[in-house]
Amino acid sequence: MQASDVIAKKRDGGELSGEEIEFFIQGYTQGAIPDYQAAAWLMAVYIHGMSDRETHDLTLAMAHSGHMLDLKDVAPFTVDKHSTGGVGDKVSLVVAPLIAACGVSIGKMTGRGLGFSGGTVDKLESIPGYRADLSETEFKAQLKEIGIVLTGQSGELAPADRKLYSLRDVTATVESIPLIVSSIMSKKMAAGADAIVLDVKTGSGAFMKTLEDAETLAEAMVRLGKQAGQKVVALISDMNQPLGWAVGNALEVREAINMLHEGGPADFHEHCMVVAAELLMLADKASDTNAALTLALETLASGAAWHKFMEMVEAQGGDLRYIEEPERLPHARLIEPVPAPRSGYLAGLNAAEVGMTVVDLGGGRKQKTNSIDHSVGVIVHYKVGDLVQRDTPLFTIHANDEDRLVAARERLLAAHTFSDSPVHRQPLFYRRVAS
C-alpha cells in the first residue's frame, strides 16, 4: 500500500477502507508519511467528506495512535468538556475547576488555537511557568491528587491528532466535519473520560457556520461517543459574536479569574453555569437542571472553584502571583479605546473578524511554527441588542505594534453594524443533543 494511492482514492471521491485509514494515520504518526502528503490527504477529505463508517475508523485510528489512558485506578468516574472552538471562549478555565470543586474528577486534554479560534493551552501559557505538556504518568498522578488536569496533548496520547491538528490550521482544512469529529473524539477516547459535554458552536465565529451543520456535527459526535460506551451530551451554542468581553490569551485569563470571583460578563457567566450543570448531571451530582444549577452557583459563590483553579495552576508549575494579582499577567504596550462612530443599537458583531484581528495582532498563528504574543487582544464593550452612544468606547485594542493597531482599528470598526431601531438579542444556546 502506498500513501499516494490512499490520497488518490479519496481525491477521486472514493470511500477508504479501515485498513487504508489505519495505514495512513500510522504512517503519518511515525514519520513515514510527510506533511506534504498528509496535507494533500486532508484537502481531499475536506472536499469529498467521509462516510459515518470512515469517520468512525479514522477516530479509532487516531485514538489508538498512542496510549489509551485507563483512569479507573485513580478516579472511578471522570468527566470532560470540549468546545469546537470560538472567539472569546474561555469556558474551560471556569467550568473545569468548578466541577472539580464539586467533587467530580475532570481530566482534560485541550488544544491550541486553530485559525481565528483561541486555544485553552495558549491562554493557560499566559501564566508564567504553567506546564501544558504533562506525561501520562503526571496526568494520572495529578488527577488522583487534586481531581483536575488541564493539559495539552502529550506525545503519548493521540499523537496523530496532535500532528494533524497543527497541519489543519495552516492548510485551510479546519472546517471539515469528519476531521473535527475525529480530532475531538479521538482525544476524548484516548483520555479515558466516562462522560463528556460537547459545546458545539455555530455562527460567524465558529467553524460550523449554520445551525444545520452544527447539528450534523453534534449528532455525529454523540453517536461516536455512544458507540465507545461514553455518556455524551452536546450543546449547540451561538458564536455570532464573541463570548464575554475579552478576546486574547492573557485578557481571557483575567476575565476567567474575574468570573471565578463572581464578576464578569453576564453571557459568559450563564454559559459556564449551563455547561457545568450538564456535567454535574452526567456525574449524578444532581437529579435535574435546577438542582445542578443551584449547586454550580453555590460552589462558585463559596470560592471553592477559585481555590481549585489555584490548586491546578500550582500543581502544573504556574506562578500563583500572576493569578492572585492578574495585573502581573502579560500586558500590551499600546492600549487604545476606540469610540463608537455613531449612536444606535448594535445589530451585529462579526466574531470571526474579531478573532482574525487578534491573530493579526500576534495573538494567534498564521503558520504552524508561529509563536504567540499572549499580551495582545481586544475587549469588546457591547453585545448585540445593546444601545450604543456615539463617542463612548466601542472596543479597546491591546497591541504591541503601531501599524497592527491601526489595521485592527479599521477592521474592528467594520465588524460592528448598527440599527436605529431595537434589535433582538441572540440566544446563548439553540439545542441539546443527547444519546
Which residues have a catalytic role annotated?
Answer: 82, 161, 168, 183, 187
Tell me which residue of 54, 67, 65 sits closest to 160, measured CA to CA: 65
Q: Which residues neighbour 222 within 8 Å (Cβ) at sequence distance 6 or greater? A: 198, 232, 233, 234, 433, 434, 435
Element (H, E) at 35: helix 35-48
152 Rama class: left (phi>0) / alpha (psi -120 to 50) / beta: beta
Q: Which residues neighbour 184 within 8 Å (Cβ) at sequence distance 6 or greater? A: 82, 84, 198, 221
Length of the chain: 435
Tell me which residue of 26, 45, 25 sits closest to 177, measured CA to CA: 45
The CA-based dihedral angle spanning residues 368, 371, 372, 373, taken in that order and rounded to the nearest 10 degrees: -150
* CA 156 to the chain's CA centroid: 21
Question: How distant, in Å, are the alpha carbons of 292, 362, 386, 429 from that of 274?
Answer: 9, 32, 23, 9
Tell me which residue of 253, 261, 239 sits closest to 150, measured CA to CA: 253
> Are residues 124 and 253 in contact, defined by beta-carbon separation less than 8 angstroms?
yes
